[in-house]
Amino acid sequence: MRPSRLSASFVKTVRRPGRYGDGRGGYGLSLLVKPTANGRTSRTWAQRLYINGRAVNLGLGAYPLVTLKEARAKALENRQALARGMDPRSGGIPTFARAAEKVIAIHRANWRPGGDTEQQWRSSLRMYVYPKIGDKRVNEITSTDVMAVLLPIWNEKRVTATRVRNRISAVMRWAVAKEYREGNPAGDAVGAALPKIGFRKVHHRALPHAEVAQALARVRSSTSQPITKLAFEFLVLTAARSGEARGARWADIDIGAAIWTVPGERMKTGREHRVPLSSRALEVLARARRRGNGSDLAFPSRTGRKLTGNTLSLLCRRLKIAAVPHGFRSSFRDWCAERGVSREVAESALAHAVKGVEGAYLRSDLFERRREVMEAWGDYVR
């Protein structure tokens, strides 16, 4: 009589050939009993799973080397691996999509606002990578696979394609470190094979500094959300990056001293940056405070969260301003050069690191000299 669920005593004594399932909750485990050439019987464990939509039988060893308890544990482990996107047949080697989740989790704590973010990784991988290699195990991915991902976007979306390649490479380096594979299929061989002609670096679109005041006037008179207009003007007045301005918090702003201190974790350089606030910048903050909704952000969205990365860019496009938000840093830098502001003061105002011997000897952030420059810039673009 076939038992509804295997027991240790049944496994030990069964002699009748056949396949005996472990019943419901057995994760597809069964005991295969077969006669041998010497008149005895062999008893081996198998597990039936569906991998990528196909039925597969996995061997789990022979009894009594593998007991019923051990076979059940192996069967459970295989089902759990399958649920995590791994293929039990390959020693738990993960798919690319599953490996990417591991890499994202590792790097999550080090991402800064304005730099690589989890959302950017997920978006690019989901759009360009997962459709082609997301379900492949990392040990099976070849340089040909990586080329198939990159070539369709390499010439028309070079910046995006480069980021996608770097992200694939990061996942592959993780796989190498975990000893799932040898070599990085997104490495030097792919770099040498991809076309290099026809690509030139495109700088952020910027306005001549003489046109910045007119652009700000257009923003102020527009029907856009008031807090968005204030955030944009604050960005221009402080020559800050978009992520820094959108993420400005009241706790980092000393109105009395007219100083905005941007923490290092929110700076591209990773270093704290003090920004002297001009009279006009303080007026903008005062208006933002009156429109505040209790958020700790100086320029919160209507939901109280930080304005999205596209908010200020969309504002420029809607008002037909021929520049991107980051381009106003270039406008400020050109104004500094034409006004005779020293290079070290201008670069410090932009939170750029001064390199070489000059940087090695420069220990001050030139704050008071920058205060004069930012006040003059505020008057110029008012």
Q: What are the Cα distances from residue 249, in Å, to 66, 244, 280, 333, 338? A: 61, 10, 18, 25, 33
Picking from 193, 228, 263, the residue at the C-terminal end of a domain is 193
Can you name the residues that pair with 32 across neighbouring β-strands? 19, 44
79 & 101 share domain: no
- Tokens for 364, please give them: 């001050």
37 & 143 share domain: no
Does residue 348 sit within a domain?
Answer: yes
The domain total for the chain is 3
102 & 82 share domain: no
CA distance 132 to 127: 10
pTM of the model: 0.51
Domain containing 236 equals: 209-381
51 & 80 share domain: yes
Cβ-count burial 105-142 (b if 16+ within 10 Å, e if not): eeeeeebbbbeebeeebeebbeebbbebbeeebbeebe
Picking from 39, 68, 89, the residue at the C-terminal end of a domain is 89
Does residue 80 sit within a domain?
Answer: yes
184 & 273 share domain: no
326 & 353 share domain: yes
Q: Tell me: the pLDDT tens digits for 21-59?
A: 998 777 899 999 999 888 889 999 999 988 767 788 888
13 & 32 share domain: yes
Split at pLDDT 50, 70, 90, the class of 179 is confident
What's the whole-number mean pLDDT along residues 300-317?
A: 91
Q: Tell me: the pLDDT tens digits for 127-177?
A: 999 999 998 989 889 999 999 999 998 888 888 889 999 999 999 999 888
Q: What is the CATH number of the domain that holds 70?
A: 3.30.160.390
